[in-house]
Amino acid sequence: MCGIAGILSSDIDLRQEKEMLWRVSDSLKMRGPDARGEYITRSVALIHRRLSVIDPEKGVQPMRFGKYIIVYNGEIYNTDEIRRELRFHGYVFETDCDTEVVLKSFHLWQERCAEKLNGIFAFAIYNMDSEEVFLCRDRIGVKPLFYSKTKDLFAFASRTDTLLHVKGIEPVCDENGLNEIFMLGPAKTMGKTYFQNIKEVKPGEYLYYKKGKLKSGVYWSLKASEFSDNCVQAQEHTHFLVTDAIKRQLVSDVPICTFLSGGLDSSIISKVAYDYMTDRGEILNTYSVDYKDNDKYFKSSVFQPNKDSDYINLISDYIDSDHHNIILNNTDVADSLIESTFARGVPGFTDIDSSLLLFCREIVKKHKVALSGECADEIFGGYPWYHREEILFEETFPWSRTTDVRHSILKNGFLKHSDEYVKNAYDETITSTDFLDTDSRLEKRMRQMFMLNMNWFMQTLLARKDAMSMQASLEVRVPFCDYRIVEYAYNMPWSIKSYNGREKGILRKAFENELPDIITWRKKSPYPKTFNPDYVQAVSKMALCVLEDKSCALNEMINKSSIMSLIENPDSLSEPWYGQLMRGPQVLAYLVQIYAWIRRYNVQFDI
């Protein structure tokens, strides 16, 4: 994976802005520690930082072909098929890397090239003749891409904070940004950021920019269609699609491994990877994460009924992987909250972020590429809110069912239109959901839930995975985000998807002959979090420091007495802040991250 950035300017000579361009490049160095490349003229600068995975010797960027120059971040999993098609059209290739394939695909098909690509990507292609740039992002939104447009300048980058190094782009957060942070965060509306003048290229979207004019297009969105397979056929096709996606993503010129939690999704990936690598005489390395003394302090709940550690050794022994169990120190997890904020460039998923950052740092000591089981829950109905009718039909985000907890930490009357903002965000997703006239009430709602989860909850997890892994210079691939799986699952009737009345029932049934029954039919358990009081104490001290800094704008927004009560009794929240894992200690950690974000970027507020 890599980091990319670019600037098109009509009023400054970019050749004279070496210091600014160095800062832009340096902000991306963790995404691409292996190589740095630039293309600079008076009016355009293209910057690339590379983490070499495929054809390390020849895949240098920016890469040129004719009048086009590309900076690219990602992996294309059908590279060989597209390369064969391009050769049929007379193209000759000088490298084995997918960058050249993407570049020549655009040369032939223009924006329609995106429809050909199966992978995770964000790229920009500059036309030297017309001085036009084309931006494109993968269908699911695995790889990030942000941009900012002013009167005389257009800039893009893999990170929001990279853009803040560009002259004329200021760190201003308005009321909409504050609503995103306090009312929706750590989720956010697709296409938006917390900064007033920085936007996001949406998943499945492309942009053209030329001399002050910007136009966008959508090359992919989920469409409802009739599902013709019966249950047995659905099992077989699900098995094929998932297996094929995993195998495609095991291609690498550097060592590759898998995350293994002991749950269904990572076990499927690890089993397919083990079979694939064994056929090639290779050994599969698997990695799991836990926290010091977590067995001692674990608390069972409806969301987290059992510990992953009870199952990890069972599956690693079953597939005979070389397994590594990473035990994290709880104070290190707290101490890393600040860095994980800077890794995202925004407040995030608190210790769920910082623990992943530390985990990736251990893995990258021996491996550059890993496969992870993210997003199967969103696609195959794995979360409790898919299965509890009292939640399913509520007209609200199921992972944040009310804004009461969020309002409780803010000063009375702050963000006056916040509930309306949340309702509009929810309604926009619901109204954009495609369905069939023949869909029953349940099937229509399941499509809506699919879109809510994919556009919101899944995007939060993908942003987390990309930012934390890239901060550690580790490439993490997510096979369940293959768009073919997503399209197939979207149109699968709920009676089939929830086979045997279980979350991810069809996925379990599809792989039941390849895994131990205890793994296949295990109750879902989310990413492990720490239950250790050492973490709570560390976060509480950090939150107290935030309250003591009266010079920070955050103190004009928050209800200090409410936060003090939370510090004194972290278990007092009646409901999670977000999802299954963000409770009292995580709310305190989130405030710490907001504070760090304001201080780091000198955020100004326009409210």
Indicate which residues carry an active-site annotation. Answer: 2
Cα angle 287-289-295, degrees, rounded to a multiple of 5: 135
Query: How many beta carbons lie within 10 A of that of residue 432, not counting itself?
Result: 12
Q: Nearest CA to 54 among 102, 6, 12, 19?
A: 102
Strand ordering across the sheet containing 2-9: 35-40, 44-50, 2-9, 153-157, 146-149, 199-200
**CA-to-CA separations, 158 to 14, 201, 448, in angstroms, rounded:** 20, 10, 29
B/e letters for 4-30, b = 16+ CB within 10 Å, e = fewer, are bbbbbbeebebeebeebbeebbebbeb
d(CA 254, CA 367): 8
Q: End-to-end distance of the chain based on CA atoms, in angstroms? A: 38
Q: In 3-state terms, the chain is what percent helix, strand and coil (to 5)? A: 45, 15, 40
Query: How many beta carbons lie within 10 A of that of residue 152, not counting itself?
Result: 12
Angle of helix 533-548 relative to helix 560-568, nearest 10 degrees? 160
d(CA 116, CA 468): 29
Pairing mode, strands 256-259 and 369-371: parallel
d(CA 321, CA 312): 11
Secondary structure of residue 191 in the 3-state scheme: coil
Residues in the chain: 607
d(CA 5, CA 146): 9
Pairing mode, strands 68-76 and 63-65: antiparallel
d(CA 439, CA 318): 42
Q: Nearest CA to 154 among 134, 181, 184?
A: 134
